[in-house]
């Protein structure tokens, strides 16, 4: 799929003023600084559609973008943000969990994980939450241009090993870089192939 149009619709701090759930939706989520905004911008072929980490307060918002006038891309708040209190962090994660559980048009959650960092408790817990609730998700390893193949394979192996202890089958995994653009095509193909599920539902 080619992204022809991408426009910002609304930012929310709660689940109250969300766009109507009348189109397929895909959420992007991950720890702060994972490279979420950069990847979203790359997917949409735009420089500043999603605001990067340097924008104050941006991590607190749920942002909806309408792509090709036919599906929503949702930028969820970054979890595990170092500069906020533990309590606030728990609130963000709570909001994210509520969102992915309640949003009826959500077809898939792309969970972004920094390929340079060893498995983190908060990521593993979030993946487990999604699995238990049967919310479909895809793991997207980010910034693969920043780490050599040997190191990243070590991290990927560790993740797979941990996930296999809990799950019989692994979720889809995509390796990405907002710098080289790797993974973008796979993400868009995944979305293109998943969109018809929504049509079949209504
Ligand atoms: P967010 O907080 O998850 O939205 O992360 P950002 O997109 O703001 O990225 C955080 C930092 O990582 C910024 O300095 C980006 O330039 C950098 N970054 C993001 N994605 C990549 C990537 O794929 N490769 C490299 N080398 N740097 C990246």
145 in ligand 1 pocket by Cβ < 6 Å? yes
Find where tokens 């790359």 sit. 42
Q: Which of 52, 74, 181 to mutate to test the pocket of ligand 1 (most atoms within 8 A of CB)?
A: 52
Q: What is the distance between the alpha carbons of residues 199 and 22, in angstroms, rounded to a whole number?
A: 10
What are the structure tokens assigned to 53, written together?
Answer: 């980490």
Atom of ligand 1 nearest to the CA of 34: 3
* The model's pTM: 0.94
Q: Give the closest residue (by CA) to ligand 1 atom 9.
A: 35
Distance 78 CA to ligand 1 centre (A): 12
| pLDDT reported for residue 17 | 87
Which numbered atom of ligand 1 lies nearest the CA of 176? 23
Q: Are 138 and 183 in contact (CB under 8 A)?
A: no
Any idea what the Cα angle at residue 61 is, between residues 52 and 90, rounded to 5°?
Answer: 105
Q: CA end-to-end span of the chain, whole Å?
A: 23
Per-residue pLDDT at 38: 95
Structural domains for the chain: 6-11+21-201 (3.40.50.300)
Atom of ligand 1 nearest to the CA of 142: 23
Which pair of tokens denotes residue 169?
A: 């089958």
CA of 173 from ligand 1 middle (Å) equals: 19
Separation of alpha carbons 202 and 200, rounded Å: 6
Residuewise pLDDT in 10s, the chain (202 residues): 999 999 999 999 888 889 999 999 999 999 988 999 999 999 999 988 887 766 555 567 899 999 999 999 999 988 876 666 777 667 778 889 999 999 999 999 999 999 999 888 889 999 999 999 999 999 999 999 999 999 989 989 999 999 898 888 899 999 999 999 999 999 999 999 999 999 766 5
Q: Are 75 and 62 in contact (CB under 8 A)?
A: yes
Query: Ligand 1, atom 25: nearest CA belongs to which residue?
Result: 143
Nearest to 41 by CA among 61, 80, 71, 67: 67
Q: Are 36 and 28 in contact (CB under 8 A)?
A: yes
């Amino acid at each position: 799929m080619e992204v022809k149009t991408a426009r910002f619709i609304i930012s929310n701090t709660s689940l109250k003023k969300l766009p109507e759930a009348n189109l397929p939706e895909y959420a992007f989520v991950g720890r702060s600084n994972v490279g979420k905004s950069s990847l979203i911008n790359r997917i949409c072929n735009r420089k500043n559609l999603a605001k990067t980490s340097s924008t104050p307060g941006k991590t607190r918002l749920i942002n909806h973008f309408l792509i090709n006038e036919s599906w929503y891309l949702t930028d969820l708040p970054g979890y595990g943000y170092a500069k906020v209190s533990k309590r606030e962090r728990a609130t963000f994660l709570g909001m994210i969990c509520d969102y992915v559980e309640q949003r009826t048009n959500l077809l898939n959650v792309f969970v972004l994980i920094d390929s340079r960092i060893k498995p983190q408790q908060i990521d593993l817990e979030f993946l487990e939450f999604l699995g238990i609730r049967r919310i479909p998700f895809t793991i997207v390893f980010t910034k693969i241009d920043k780490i050599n193949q040997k190191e990243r394979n070590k991290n990927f192996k560790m993740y797979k090993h941990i996930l296999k202890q809990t799950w019989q089958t692994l979720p889809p995994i995509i390796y990405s870089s907002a710098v080289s653009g790797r993974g973008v095509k796979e993400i868009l193909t995944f979305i293109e192939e998943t969109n018809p599920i929504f049509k079949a539902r209504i």
